[in-house]
Structure 1
């Protein structure tokens, strides 16, 4: 993913969550908006977030399996 798309995703998340800071809300989003750096920013701002991660993305744990490595019905998860 190029830097422009990453910056767009970061701006959208930060702009839309600005009024939620410090209130303990939970956000759920897809992998376009889900970056480890953003998750850390939100966590420090007392906003909990959940989203699909992509293997190989900066900061993503290396033990997460690729979709094609799993059988139908399987899932993988991590928590930080």
Structure 2
């Protein structure tokens, strides 16, 4: 159901401020991997290899985020923050409030060591969950939200979720810039697209 039905999958690591492509990897299938390591974990660890022990924070979406990945990043001297699927293994759903127990703009958080998980009900019926190894699980900040009358109000939100919303768009920004140099024309040689992409 995607607008581009066929093509190459490229994993990318980009600067959140400039959209500059820092590292990328062409997806070649599952390959050989240990049964305990998920594809998303492996991709993040491989793309961030050159930045170990430098204290960078990597932001990623729920395809990549696991509690195990947060610990692995810490072991490599990196921070991580990302939305997490609430049905993932080791997600502490029994320790967090359910969606029904949270009112709009309410949050709940739990921490174990340096890894914390946050749940925040922003708008609508669902809540968003974020895992981080960088943020204090009690730290909150204020964000602007439009109310029913169209006015902008300050709303209290976990700092990890606010930071995620600010820094998550690096790859999207890169894609936006990259779209100006389209590689969508037909060619007899499949590798031409990769050459132009680089």
4+ runs of 1 displaced by more than 3 Å? 73-80
Residue 13 of structure 1 is matched in structure 2 by: 44
Structure 1 position 38 matched with structure 2 position 58: no
The alignment partner of 1:19 has SS state of helix
Aligned CA RMSD, in angstroms, stands at 2.8
* Contact 2:81–2:132 (CA under 8 A) maintained in structure 1: no
State yes or no: 1:57 paired with 2:108: no
More strand by share: 2
Number of equivalences: 74
Q: What TM-score, normalized by structure 2, do the two folds share?
A: 0.32
Tell me the equivalent position of 1:72. 123
Structure 1 unaligned segments of length 5 or more: list them.
none
Q: Relative to structure 1, is the Cα distance of residues 11 and 55 closer, same or farther in structure 2, using a 3 angstrom cutoff?
A: same
Deviation at 1:78, TM superposition (A): 6.0
Query: Equivalent residue of 2:92, what SS?
Result: coil
1:2-30 deviation digits (Å, cap 9, x = unpaired): xx6x7321221111010111110000000
- Distance change >3 Å, CA 64–CA 41, structure 1 → 2: farther
Alignment partner, residue 22 of structure 1:
53
